[in-house]
Structure 1
Amino acid sequence: MTATTTFRERLYVTWWIWPLPLLAAALLAAEVHMGFPGVRSWLPYVILLPLTVVLIVRMGSTKVEVAGGELRAGDAHIPLDLLGEVEVIAPEDKRKAMGPYLDPAAYVVHRGWVKPLVRVRVNDPEDPTPYWVISTRRPEELAAAIKS
């Protein structure tokens, strides 16, 4: 973390999601091996399994950060002085917050395997987004970093 970074978290894919894509890649490699007998037997495995790992890591992770006077979540960023109330949403209230109580205009960075959420109000009159909902494993730390 730099001197101006007060919070940083990378939300990676949890371990229990990995077996299914890796199994699918192994099965696809086996099919390629059986379908093209002239191809070296190890080649589809050497290509498809590492490619699957790279895809899981790149597509399944996102960064949440408070640094340089901005909140960054996913691909978006907003200055901290445009943010209002910060609310920590407990795991047991996540279903309501992401379901019937979710504003369709809200900016959402959600990872299903991360239970707690933080909801941050946006006080910018020119921004149609009423609030941000962000998945985080350390909601109290993120809320404190936004408030400071």
Structure 2
Amino acid sequence: MHSSAPATPPAASYRERLSPSLWVLVSAAVCGPMVALVLAPLDSVVGLLAGITVGALVVAGLIALSPVIEVSDGRLRVGRASIELEYLGDIETLTGDDARQARGPGLSPASWHMLRGGIDGVVRVAIEDQDDPVTHWVFSSRTPIRVAAVIGSARAATDFPAHEA
């Protein structure tokens, strides 16, 4: 039996892991050969196996512990922080010199930030919760325009007022 009730459109969702750059991962993998060299005088096979294991674990740990940006279920999550979309105000997407300014001299002490080296894009979102001492969220993103678009779409789907800049 089919229902004639309209289906609820799925809310916009987005997920981005801010994993380290390739150079950071390669640098971290150097831990493996160092462990192998330390253990080689005791037993070369054990040293080699321990080196491979340590290198793989360090790289896997860096990737697994990388912060995630997620927009879903009416919330914006950046790393361990989370806020409902209804409290978000104007959204700015910044790249190049504007992003450098936002990450450095333009970073307000009243803002919450999660910035990653090697990622150029920055998203700055105003917080409109009167009980929250934080005025803005400033965070890195490889695709800041897409993050802003998904937040705007999710807010429109849940009937929150749009405040995009």
TM-score (norm 1): 0.86
Q: What do residues 21-74 of structure 1 show as CA deviations (whole Å, max 9, x unaligned)?
A: 11133112211222x349734332243122222222123x22111111111111
Which residue is equivalent to 1:65?
A: 70
Say whether 1:9 aligns with 2:26.
Answer: no
Which residue is equivalent to 2:6?
A: none
The 1-side partners of 2:51 and 2:34 are apart by: 9
What is the DSSP-based 3-state SS (H/G/I as helix, E as strand, rest coil) of the residue aligned with 1:85?
strand
Which residue is equivalent to 2:123?
A: 118
Range with bigger deviation, 65-74 or 18-27: 18-27
Q: Which has the greater radius of gyration? A: 2
Calculate the aligned-residue CA RMSD, in Å.
1.9
1:38–1:88 Cα change, 3 Å: closer
Say whether 1:45 aligns with 2:51.
Answer: yes
Range with bigger deviation, 64-73 or 5-14: 5-14
Aligned sequence identity (%): 33
What is the DSSP-based 3-state SS (H/G/I as helix, E as strand, rest coil) of the residue aligned with 2:16?
strand
- What number of residue pairs does the alignment pair up? 144
Say whether 1:102 aligns with 2:107.
Answer: yes
The 2-side partners of 1:41 and 1:87 are apart by: 50
Which aligned segments of 4 or more residues in structure 1 are displaced greater than 4 angstroms? none
- 1:78 is aligned with what amino acid? I
1:46–1:79 Cα change, 3 Å: same
Q: What do residues 93-138 of structure 1 show as CA deviations (whole Å, max 9, x unaligned)?
A: 1221111111123111211111011100000011111100121111
Structure 2's unaligned 5+ residue stretches are 1-9, 154-165
